[in-house]
Amino acid sequence: MSRTVRVRERMRAAGLDAVPVVDGPRVIGLLEREAASAARGSGNWLGAVQVASLMRHGSFACGTADPVERARAAMDRLGVGLLAVVDEGGSVVGVIGRERATAALPALAAAS
């Protein structure tokens, strides 16, 4: 099974619409389920397609200490629904989606 197929299956199993793409500890892009599905739907067999050819290139990440408002603003600016969350060393420790960030904002506002 190719890496692209494994990534698509992991996205589906985790209920994610996208996953961060890393090169070592660095986030180098974002692979969205739509891109993988479109490639498969157009007759491209995902086993022969590299993740790098389907991903959106860029740093789609926020830090563990970043405010949720900053993560949400980055999602809006980048036009994505998910960001990788990285620790102080730049290693991915999780992801935050638009729905979770949006749900957290009223609770954070009430607490302040």
Instruction: Give every CB contact of residue 101 below 8 A, 6+ residues apart in sequence.
Output: 68, 71, 72, 75
Q: 60-92: per-residue pLDDT in tens?
A: 899 999 999 899 999 999 988 889 999 998 888
Domain boundaries, the chain: 3-111
**Element at 62 (helix H, strand E):** strand 61-63
Bridge partners of 84? Answer: 61, 95
- CA 104 to chain centroid, in Å, comes to 18
pTM: 0.73
Higher pLDDT residue, 44 or 51? 51
pLDDT class of 4 with cuts at 50, 70, 90? low
Mean pLDDT calculated for residue range 14-32: 84
Q: At what angle do helices 98-111 and 68-78 cross, to 10 degrees?
A: 140
Our measurement of the distance from residue 8's CA atom to the centroid of its chain's CA atoms, rounded to an integer in Å, reads 12
pLDDT recorded at residue 110: 62
Length of the chain: 112
Question: pLDDT value at position 76?
Answer: 92
CATH number belonging to domain 3-111: 3.10.580.10
Hey, is 93 helix, strand or coil? strand
